[in-house]
Amino acid sequence: MTWTMARRAGRLNPSTIREILKITERPGIISLAGGLPSADTFPVAAMAEATARVLRDCPREALQYAASEGFGPLREWVAAELGAQGMQVDASQVLITTGSQQGLDLVGKVLIDPGSRVAVEHPTYLGALQAFAPYEAEFVPIEGDDDGPLPDGLQAARGARFVYLLPNFQNPTGRCVPAGRRDVLVARAAELGLPIVEDNPYGDLWFDAPPPAPLSARAGDAAVYLGSFSKVLAPGLRLGYVVAPKRLYPKLLQAKQAADLHTPGFNQRVAHEVIRNGFLDTHLPQVRARYKVQRDAMRAALDKHLPAGCRFNVPAGGMFFWVELPSGMDAGALLPKAVDAGMAFVPGAPFYCHAPRLNTLRLSFVTVPPPQIDQGVAALGGVLGAALEARR
């Protein structure tokens, strides 16, 4: 049989990270590649108790089909939580999604026509590029500096359907946009009539001080906001949320109904049962403390093992270091050598919508503990040192 595939199937690409994760499953490899939260932070006991309570108190409802919008009390919880961060959110604007990754797909489905322009940071979260590409978006890269995307860069996005922004501890660069830059970005986008899609899975993972208020707190109904429970509870729950302006919400909801009817109601109830009485107030400080120690361990390891000419920023939260190698080096070409040396990273290229900077790579500091961080970075340093030596 000759199967004729839709044009969009040609734009579905394997996730580079998932492909790399397959390599890293080989025994003995220290993987600093995947964005996997530390499994030691998963609240196993609280989940077990909450699961038992849900099955005892409301088994029939929890195991039944449920509302596409999400579990009411969880939507209320999200609205209140975001309210505390300065956003004005009514629970009726909250759509619980199957991970925030689904939120990205729904946004693409509702807002992107073939050929629509979509502005993205350069580099940006490659999962968003993967989500938007099948809808045949034409990406407009927005250059940035250590403080985030440059407001002047938005000019090139005039007429785009939206700009996709990650102001908190961005994946992949780890950068956090200061309050002043946020004000200017939102004002500039408003002048251009450019809607904002704000993605914030890492905002709660700050080490010294919480990040400034979300862009959405400044942008009103000019922004869609995406959040996630993956990094604060557990990614296996597949729970995220979209907060949408009233005009957009019904279409996102209908797109979700077409995709999966609703987000697993059982998971929503268990997650709500875990968090409803302030669990995160004690859980998150523990996660932050652990990740800060690991961030410091990776910083020390990078200082110790990376050859001269490599550059990195120290992230104030989140999960990633972004490393720039001396120009002319190709991180992708060095990955097999790194794997042979016992470690893995993600090359930076797939995070760029166009014109990838091949001399970049991303390292996760949260997945493995400090001794392995040092060992993994030492192996990377050895591979980079040998490659630089070979160029001389």
Distance of alpha carbon 302 from alpha carbon 378, whole angstroms: 8
Q: State the minimum distance, in angstroms, from the CB of residue 225 to ligand PLP.
A: 12
324-346 burial by CB neighbour count: b if 16+ within 10 A, else e?
A: bbeeebebbebbeebbebbbbbb
Instruction: Identify residue 344 by its one-letter amino acid code.
Output: A
DSSP code, position 376: H
Whichever of 125 and 266 has its CB closer to ligand PLP, that residue is 125
Q: State the minimum distance, in angstroms, from the CB of residue 14 to ligand PLP.
A: 16
| Position closest to ligand PLP via CB | 99
Q: Is 127 in the site for ligand PLP (CB under 6 A)?
A: yes
Among 70, 99, 151, 195, binds ligand PLP (CB under 6 A): 99
Q: For the chain, how far is it from start to end, CA to CA, in angstroms?
A: 55
Distance of alpha carbon 71 from alpha carbon 253, whole angstroms: 14
Only one of the segments 132-140, 217-225, 228-236, 271-279 lies at the binding site for ligand PLP (rule: CB under 6 A); that segment is 228-236
> Of 134, 258, 296, 154, which Cα lies nearest the Cα of 215?
154
Distance of alpha carbon 272 from alpha carbon 269, whole angstroms: 5
Q: Is 100 in the site for ligand PLP (CB under 6 A)?
A: yes
Q: State the minimum distance, in angstroms, from the CB of residue 390 to ligand PLP.
A: 34
Among 101, 294, 360, 364, binds ligand PLP (CB under 6 A): 101
Whichever of 318 and 381 has its CB closer to ligand PLP, that residue is 318
Instruction: Rounding to the nearest 10 degrees, give the CA dihedral for residues 69, 70, 72, 73.
Output: -150
Among 123, 144, 201, 212, binds ligand PLP (CB under 6 A): 201
Only one of the segments 67-75, 76-84, 96-104, 246-254 lies at the binding site for ligand PLP (rule: CB under 6 A); that segment is 96-104
Q: State the minimum distance, in angstroms, from the CB of residue 177 to ligand PLP.
A: 14
Q: What is the H or E stretch that residue 264 is in?
A: none
Specify the long-range contacts of residues 336-339, CB closer than 8 Å, at least 24 apart.
337/383, 337/386, 337/387, 338/379, 338/380, 338/383, 339/23, 339/24, 339/26, 339/29
Cis check for the bond before 172: say yes or no (omega within 30 of 0). Answer: yes
Whichever of 181 and 231 has its CB closer to ligand PLP, that residue is 231
Touching ligand PLP, residues 316-375 (CB under 6 A): none
Only one of the segments 99-107, 132-140, 251-259, 334-342 lies at the binding site for ligand PLP (rule: CB under 6 A); that segment is 99-107
Among 20, 89, 119, 166, binds ligand PLP (CB under 6 A): 166
Q: State the minimum distance, in angstroms, from the CB of residue 97 to ligand PLP.
A: 8
Q: Dihedral sign, CA of 78, 197, 238, 48? A: negative
Q: Is 24 in the site for ligand PLP (CB under 6 A)?
A: no
Touching ligand PLP, residues 235-274 (CB under 6 A): 235, 240
Whichever of 29 and 107 has its CB closer to ligand PLP, that residue is 107
Site residues for ligand PLP per CB under 6 A = 35, 99-101, 125, 127, 166, 171, 199, 201, 228, 230, 235, 240
